[in-house]
């Protein structure tokens, strides 16, 4: 069935370093992908999205890369800050009449001062 998963459940980085969070998806028909950040006790916060007709998209300190050949997605965070500490989820939109998002299990990003 469809699934979106993450390779690394926990990522620990030093403040100021760059972070890379990876995600694999299985539905080759997926046309839209989103990264969410979730801090403890809060709902997921939209970070950045990418359409399947793109392979890279940049935001403020974040870049998402999409490799459709191997069905892989990554989130790069530049100059990681303590405030970036959170769980990061990738999600795939199933499309059709239902806008169901399929989430992976998440990666915990821990930023060390």
Partner 1 sequence: DAGVTQSPTHLIKTRGQHVTLRCSPISGHKSVSWYQQVLGQGPQFIFQYYEKEERGRGNFPDRFSARQFPNYSSELNVNALLLGDSALYLCASIRQGTYNEQFFGPGTRLTVL
For partner 1, the binding residues (CB under 8 A) are: 31-32, 34, 36, 41-46, 49, 51, 89, 91, 93, 97-106
Rounded to a whole number of angstroms, the minimum distance from the CB of residue 41 to partner 1 is 8
Q: In this complex, which beta carbon is closest to partner 1, that of residue 1 or of residue 83?
A: 1
The nearest distance, CB 33 to partner 1, in angstroms, is 10
- Bridge partners, 62 (sequence order): 77
| Closer to partner 1 by Cβ: residue 18 or 45 | 45
Whether 75 and 20 have beta carbons less than 8 Å apart is answered as yes
CB of 15 to partner 1, least distance (A): 26
Q: DSSP assignment of the chain, as one string?
A: ---EE-S-SEEEEETTS-EEEEEEE--TT--EEEEEEE-TTS--EEEEEEETT-SEEE-SSEEEEEETTTTEEEEEESS--GGG-EEEEEEEE--TTS--EEE---EEEEEE-
Query: Is the CB of 9 or the CB of 16 nearer to partner 1?
Result: 9
Least distance CB 78 / partner 1 (angstroms): 23
Residue nearer to partner 1 on the CB measure, 84 or 92: 92
């Amino acid at each position: 069935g469809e699934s979106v998963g993450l390779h690394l459940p926990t990522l620990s980085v030093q403040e100021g370093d760059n972070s890379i969070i990876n995600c694999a998806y299985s539905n080759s028909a997926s046309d839209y992908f989103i990264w969410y950040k979730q801090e403890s006790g809060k709902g997921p916060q939209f970070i950045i999205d990418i359409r399947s007709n793109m392979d890279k998209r940049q935001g403020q300190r974040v870049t998402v890369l999409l490799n459709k050949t191997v069905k892989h997605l990554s989130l790069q965070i530049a100059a990681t800050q303590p405030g970036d500490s959170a769980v990061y989820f990738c999600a795939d939109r199933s499309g059709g009449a239902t806008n169901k998002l399929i989430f992976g299990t998440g990666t915990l990003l821990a930023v060390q001062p």
